[in-house]
Each structure stands twice: as C-alpha cells, then as structure tokens.
Amino acid sequence: MHGRRHVAYLFLLGAIASEVVGTSLLKSTNGFTRLWPTVGLVVAYVTAFGLLSQAVKTVPVGVAYAMWSGLGTAAIVAIGAAFLGEPLSVTKVVGVGLIIAGVVILNLGGTH
C-alpha cells in the first residue's frame, strides 16, 4: 500500500508538471492560431489529466486537486516572472505563499 501511494504522488507530480507545460504554452498559441504550440498545449493537458486520473485512484481527490492547483499556480507565477516578462509583486508572492500554506494544511489533514 505504501509503495502504491508513492507511485500515486509521482503520477500527481507528473500531472502538475504537464499542466504547467501546457499553461506555459498558452500564450504562444496566439489564441490557438499557431499550430505547434497549440498541439503541444493539447498534448500536455491530455497527459496531465491522464496522470491525474491515475493519481486520484489512491490520493484523495481534495488533496490531489489542492496540490494540482496550488503547486501549478506557484510554478506558473514563477515561470511568468522568470521567462514571460510578467511582474512579480509582493502581493503575488504573498498570495502564492498563502496558496502553498493551504496545500500543506490540506495535505496534513488528508493523511489521517
């Protein structure tokens, strides 16, 4: 059972990474008018949902979704600031910190 749980969290991390890749490609699709970025986005999102569907076989849905959305949001904010020229403000950093704190709290509550 313990090994299965670890595999489920690997599926979840893969799902988060795939979703972050897809979301990172969103701007470069230019409203879905550019073929290859759009294809990459679709492949990334299909992969993300496929992996997420495997993860929730073991990880509670609420915990999985909290991790998915929280860690994905934090990663996208960081990518936006580092590579897409988006401003990083104190408000954004505090907001992401609160999201991560919420994910941690849900995970602690989900282990019982």
- Written as tens digits, the pLDDT of the chain (112 aa) is 577 889 999 999 999 999 999 999 999 999 999 999 999 999 999 999 999 999 999 999 988 988 998 999 999 999 999 988 899 999 999 999 998 898 888 878 755 4
Q: Which amino acid is at 8?
A: A
* DSSP strands (E only) in 1-112: none
Q: How many CA atoms lie within 13 A of 47 on its CB side?
A: 17
CB–CB of 57/5 below 8 Å? no
Q: Which domain holds residue 42?
A: 2-110
What are 6's two structure tokens? 């670890």
Number of structural domains, the chain?
1
